[in-house]
Structure 1
């Protein structure tokens, strides 16, 4: 039963989007979260659209309409629009013309994405029209959709399952949401396990799944979160449903059509697991619900961990661990790690209540990680800024299209297809200055705030602006770039987008909206990478070079200006310069000098750009950091200064007694492919030297402890296999040799170098090669700083041996 409502107007947030071909055209389906509950939107009789040059006498099917349009290419050729009744017709034509990607324009854009972007809708939307009350949701058919400002309040469920193995028996499904915690436990005799209110004892796998699906329908979440939830949990549940001939009834709505690869054939409320472009990540398409995987979300927000295992991330962020941990059985002291899978099997047979608690705790850990990192808010803000689906990670080129294309069309242009550009020139990367190696006191870092976005704003760097600039005959009306580029002073799009984002970020900072501020920063900083990527439809070396080479010029000129003030610049990296003040200066004096240099540079650039180009400067350099002590090491085995590798010590507060912190960049202590021994040794050694504390005895004690076998628990290397193990034929790096000795090697290999070569930690049979760790771990770390103190690791340890010789 349903009721018709007259002219509803609702605000909401788009959760999922799908399309399908029908005999009457393309139908679009959107699920939206609103304050009134879930809303389903159907848009019917749509057409697939692309463009073709008017001079191109391309033959198309009689059902395809070709219309002349008031649009043109960047080469100023007139274009026609091609309108297809079905998306598959456009796809077939694209495949037919794959040998020449220059024939079609904007042919890869999906119907749902074009529908939204041409209305400037990203994620928040206003819906106006007649609403039909369905069971559990409202439905609109062909409503008016407009962009809006709306902050959703999602109903979120954390999901985790426990199984016998990857394709075995389903033990349990746990879900948590706010104060609700439930475990659906598969035990044959549930009457024996009464008295646990949050455990639903089930008679079979089928019973578990059916009770779980019923709970999902009643609780009706907008968002499902988990850890590896798509590639494992949902994938397993979908497989189990197929095995038991059950519908994978996890989505909203009542349709149960067949699975498809891209949303093209039919709608369904089953999860669709499809590989991302990389071929390694998976996404779940569930009508009416969003699935956010904790691992991909954290990586998408540029979090970095030695391991993205839930146990490790939870310990780092929350100070908690899983209830069954692989290192729980003395692994840290060299014992055999607990076989987690066997322990899960044991608990299922002997203590299912404990397994249920373990299952629930994993859900809690994921929910608490999302809360700790504010990851849901970050995902919401990113979707609102870019127009990408909230569960889509990466996608910077698609985000650029969403922001840029509708504005380009309003200016009378269409864009080329991806991969159609035939540019052979390349553009350089960011400028990295040769460093002056040394162990210094009082080093200042001056950093250009968002340098590349600032260059785009200031020099009007823009794809359409380049097309306009190159067509203008009066150079007074253009701003010069590099590689003979000229940019229009008046007609441009990207500088205005950056300006608007910049203003929104400033507002977000004022309101202390960290997720929004960070989302905007990531988007702005992605623009250069997009323009410099051949995977972008606007790829052009003139665009990318006009950003990076201008950046080179700005850093080099800033270095010269600083040196004119009597200071030495010991390093520069993309958007920063490192200024040496030297010994004998108080913190307050260093602070004053940093602020003076900041003012001098900002004033100079403002006047110079006005005089040279008649443009307003958006460049802004900031005095960012004062290092009390600073190390710029040499390249290992040489006297040349290294790049992108340094360490420094800062003081956190204004008080002279405030905490001092070590900062490492690119060195062993922040690299996961070095052992815990090397990382901990470097941190403590540098700390002692930077604080003018004795260090020789520490070096000797560490050396002796290693040789005596007291540090065996810190000797593990962790490295990844970059390709399948069997493909390593010509080279045999240590991780490959160790992997060949494992029963079931994965991508991440943990091993120890022994007297018999690399051995995996799961089956250590030999004594560690201590001399290897002395020569390859301790000595290189120590010598990188001892070089500047006139000594070496070998001298210090040999002296110690002489004393006791």
Structure 2
């Protein structure tokens, strides 16, 4: 039966079958899941026509059948190319290796077959498909499928999954939370006092094997599109598959009763990838990072506390393990509640942050997979490459060995001080607006450099470091323009997930062009963006200072303007609006007169700080960068803002952070701080703030990799794992991770195994004194002078 339908791509795979390829797309439609089978799509790579004869001999020697096609395509070096089409993915990989071994570099050999199929059809999530439809148990099979792009927003079903197990990885229970069904599958006999309820449904099973088979049945019955969790890929799924293997079962939780496949990352031994046919697995930590969230700690407890104001019942990893073991033996109902609570927290985090909506919109905009981590380079490639092909070019290869760094964003030397009335003016999406205004584009660079000298100034726009860009042959400026317009619409409609997705994609385009991991990298591209940014920031500063104000700092796209005396909010707003109008008008005229271009540059009046601190670099007189604090009115509420200072840094203790927040507020309000500083110091020495002395730092490398320099966190981690070994507990810190420790008279010691007395003088000298002197210098005081008389008593 032939059928037309519209849906959204969940998973994509390609494989070789019976001497040809098969692309399998699992698609969610309004009438359920469909499995699309596209057979016989030929993998392709491209070779310079001048090397075709040599390549033919190499491929013939490898005994591989290929088809050659002359194409109206050329490289960025203007060499004609031919297409080499093979029957299978395996043949394509073999050909690529053989050619590389003989010094021939094929182009686009690394583009995966399923990705190319979707990309070349401009399919970004949504698609319309036809084919021979056969109904299966729980889904529809579409044979000989054909597909084209369509706009479609899916309604996806979601389950949050979490497992509980022993320290040796033996499964105790599996929790699932979804709108369709929430339950805990638990190994053990049903207690006499158990009563099923909407709050807690427990399905009791006899052993671990039955637990896994029941999970399999649950997936078949409820058929979720998305599986979410916390570290769900590298812990929950990795362990589930390991225990399934141990129990000699296949764990058929994919659609069509297919089995998942887990593989380790080649770059990072601690990271893996999971493929579940027809279902998308989204890890909460990775998805939040992709959506540019940041937290002091990425534990579920810490993130849930920060976002939801609630967390888990057990915090310490060893207490938790002991408590879980105890509950499994003596109180399975409490273990089930604990298990389900973790599932619910992840569901609520996804809902609160609109993570699933964010992933869907990102996929609709760029075509990247829903579960793609990061993915900026893939997004750019998906959008740019098919347009490039239609313009007659083949994409360049990744050439990271020829990578040349480009200058970073403009950062002006700051003028340290305590100020009244500082305005912040921000260029709206500066780098994307530079790309739009100055027509910066990979193909535009290639075409611009082709122009003869006499014609270049009329047809090309000068960049930096020898770059010049064609005025009309480009794609990137239009891509940004359409994204920009879509973001403005999303903002008007209050669609935060869509707006955030667009912002991240737009702002990533510069980073991609400056990244050695992108095939379109050229230092002339990235430099023409950043160096133009430097020029814009410097000229903008001159425009502001010509009006009689003082620019005290500038950073990438933000300019900090001192009005030189205290102004009311109303007066500051009038000045800010006037400066914005003047600067935007000047840039419009300048670009028109100098380059014959329409300016997309737009500066906005962002903030008025009625009190503002620009600190010095610690121990120096030079102004610091990317660090400041200020007081600002948000409606009728006065707020303290900290940027780059100890309060917002994860490597400073809560002791220092609480001290800084109160102290700075007092200085900004012209209050006497001496008594507060002395009192806080005395209470610290008296042990009143012992719960605030904990440092929390990440181990960036494996513990054994630290040989010469042994920082405090490494010493603490080694002490912790020595104790873990003595007590027969699993080692926690060998492979990176985060450690909490306290400074004692014997040095850094882990919180859970502290044995020595606290070194309070360390906290005074290394935590309170630097924070205090950062602002006291501007009111003629110092921490030592204020505390000296008191400290003499101790």
**Please, what TM-score do these two structures have when normalized by structure 1?**
0.93
Q: State whether structure 2 residue 392 is matched by structure 1 residue 412.
A: yes
The answer as to 2:196 corresponding to 1:196 is: yes
| Structure 2 residue corresponding to 1:681, chosen from 647, 656, 659 | 659
In the alignment, which of 7, 22, 35 is matched to residue 40 of structure 1? 35
Decide whether the 8 Å contact of 2:169 with 2:239 is kept in 1: no
1:765 maps to 2:755: yes
Of 147, 150, 164, 2:149 maps to: 147
Contact 2:44 2:109 in 1 (8 A): yes
Q: 1:393: how far off?
A: 1.0
Secondary structure (helix, strand or coil) at the match of 1:388 reads coil
Would the aligned equivalents of 1:323 and 1:361 in 2 still touch at CA under 8 Å? no
**What residue ranges of structure 1 are gaps of 5+ in the alignment?**
255-267, 327-336
- Structure 2 residue 724 is the aligned partner of structure 1 residue 729: no
User: Hey, what's the Cα distance between the residues in 2 that align with 1:84 and 1:193?
Assistant: 65
Match for residue 572 of structure 1 among 554, 558, 571: 554
Distance 1:741 1:528 in 2: 44
Does the 8 Å contact 2:255/2:278 carry over to 1? yes
* Equivalent residue, structure 2, for 1:592: 574
Residue 112 of structure 1, aligned match among 111, 114, 121: 114
The match for 2:495 is: 513
Q: Does 1:708 align with 2:686?
A: yes
8 Å CA contact retained: 1:678, 1:778: yes
2:585 matched residue in structure 1: 603
1:715-761 alpha-carbon deviations (Å, 9 max, x no partner): 11111111111111111111111111112232211111110111111
- In the alignment, which of 70, 73, 76 is matched to residue 74 of structure 1? 76
1:338: how far off?
6.7
Alpha-carbon spacing, 1:449–1:711, altered in 2? closer, same or farther (3 Å): same
Does structure 1 retain, via aligned residues, the 8 Å contact 2:59–2:98?
A: no
CA distance in 2, matches of 1:277, 1:366: 27
- The answer (yes or no) to whether the contact 1:433–1:571 under 8 Å persists in 2 is yes
Kindly tell me: are residues 125 and 556 of structure 1, through their superposed partners in 2, closer, same or farther at Cα, counting changes over 3 Å? same
- Of 455, 460, 480, the residue aligned with 2:434 is 455
Q: Which residue of 1 aligns with 2:418?
A: 439
**Match in the other structure for 2:511:** 529
Q: Which residue of 1 aligns with 2:297?
A: 307
CA distance in 2, matches of 1:642, 1:724: 32
- 1:691 is displaced (CA, Å) by 2.1
Task: Measure the CA separation in 1 of the matches of 2:263 and 2:593.
Answer: 57
Alpha-carbon distance in structure 2 between the residues aligned to 1:761 and 1:51: 58
Deviation (angstroms), 1:801: 5.2
- Determine if the alignment matches structure 1 residue 27 to structure 2 residue 22: yes
1:754 aligns with 2:732: no
Tell me how far apart the structure 1 counterparts of residues 31 and 701 of structure 2 sit (CA, whole Å): 49
3-state DSSP class of the match of 2:305?
A: helix
The runs of 5 or more residues in structure 2 that have no matched partner are 725-730
Alignment of 1:52 onto 2:47: yes
Q: CA deviation at 1:190?
A: 3.1
Match of 1:368 in 2: 348
Comparing 298-307 and 549-558, the one that deviates more: 298-307
User: 1:798 matched to which residue of 2?
Assistant: 788
The worse-fitting range, judged by mean Cα deviation, of 591-600 and 201-210 is 201-210
Distance 1:276 1:496, change over 3 A: farther
What is the match of residue 223 of structure 2? 220
Residues 731/131 of structure 1: CA separation in 2 closer, same or farther (3 Å cut): same
The count of residues paired between Structure 1 and Structure 2 equals 769
Q: Distance in 2 between matches of 1:525 and 1:195?
A: 53
Which secondary structure state, in structure 2, belongs to the residue aligned with residue 143 of structure 1? strand
* Residues 322-333 of structure 1 aligned to structure 2 (within 5 Å): 322-326=312-316
Q: Structure 1 residues 599 and 276 mapped into 2: Cα distance closer, same or farther (>3 Å)?
A: farther
Q: TM-score, normalised by structure 2?
A: 0.95
1:257 is matched with none
**Aligned equivalent of 1:262:** none
Instruction: Tell whether 2:718 aligns with 1:740.
Output: yes
Shift in Å at residue 196 of structure 1? 2.6
Shift of 1:324: 2.7
Given the alignment of the two structures, is residue 557 of structure 1 paired with residue 544 of structure 2, yes or no?
Answer: no
- 2:618 is aligned to 636
Q: Flag the 1:12–1:452 CA change in 2: closer, same or farther, 3 A.
A: same
Deviations 1:466-491 (A, max 9, x none): 11100011111111000111100011
Deviation, structure 1 residue 99: 6.3
Mapped to 1, the partners of 2:15 and 2:507 lie a distance apart of: 35
Shift of the alpha carbon at 1:320?
1.1
C-alpha separation in 1, matches of 2:37 and 2:345: 37
> Cα–Cα, structure 1 residues 539 and 800, in superposed 2: closer, same or farther, change >3 Å?
same
The match for 2:381 is 401
Q: 1:347 aligns with which of 327, 330, 342?
A: 327
- How far residue 193 of structure 1 moved from its aligned partner, in angstroms, is 5.9
How far off is 1:306 after superposition? 1.1
SS in 1 for 2:619: coil
Aligned equivalent of 2:176:
175
Q: How many angstroms apart in 2 are the aligned matches of 1:795 and 1:324?
A: 44
**Per the alignment, in what secondary structure is the counterpart of residue 24 of structure 2?**
strand
Deviations for 1:638-685, whole angstroms, at most 9, x for unmatched residues?
A: 0000011111111001xxxx2111111111111111111111111111
Pair 668,270 (structure 1): closer, same or farther in 2 beyond 3 Å: same
Please state which structure has a larger fraction of its residues in helix: 2
The corresponding residue for 2:126 is 124
Name the residue aligned to 2:650.
672
Distance 1:467 1:101 in 2: 25
* Distance (whole Å) between structure 1 residues aligned to residue 345 and residue 689 of structure 2: 31
8 Å contact from structure 1 (residues 442, 627) kept in 2: yes
Tell me the CA shift for residue 397 of structure 1: 0.9
Q: CA deviation at 1:142?
A: 2.3
Deviation, 1:102, is 6.8
Structure 1 counterpart of 2:728:
none
How far the C-alpha of 1:276 sits from its partner, in A, is 7.1
Would you say the 8 A contact 1:423–1:540 is kept in 2? Answer: no
The CA distance in 2 between the partners of 1:278 and 1:451, in whole Å, is 34
For 1:745 and 1:27, locate their aligned partners in 2 and report how far apart those are by CA, in whole Å. 44
Taking the aligned partners of 1:338 and 1:726, their CA distance within structure 2 comes to 23
Distance 1:491 1:754 in 2: 65
**1:113 is paired with a residue of what secondary structure?**
helix
Q: Deviations over 1:490-514 (max 9, x none)?
A: 1101111111111111111111111
- C-alpha change, 1:278 and 1:486, in structure 2 (3 Å) is farther
Give 3-state SS (helix, strand or coil) of 2:778's partner: helix
Cα deviation for residue 135 of structure 1 reads: 1.0
- Contact kept? 1:235, 1:273, Cα under 8 Å: no
Q: Alpha-carbon deviation of 1:107?
A: 1.1
Distance 1:235 1:595 in 2: 56
| Partner SS for 1:674 | coil
Partner secondary structure for residue 133 of structure 2: strand
- Per-residue deviation, 1:692: 2.2
- Report what 1:717 is aligned to: 695
- By how many angstroms is 1:434 displaced? 0.5
Indicate whether 1:241 and 2:244 are aligned: yes
Q: Secondary structure at the match of 2:554?
A: strand
What CA distance in whole angstroms lies between the structure 2 residues aligned with 1:175 and 1:101?
53
Give the 5 Å matches for 1:684-695. Answer: 684-695=662-673
Query: Which residue is 1:543 aligned to?
Result: 525
83-92 vs 507-516, which deviates more?
83-92
Secondary structure (helix, strand or coil) at the match of 2:696 reads strand
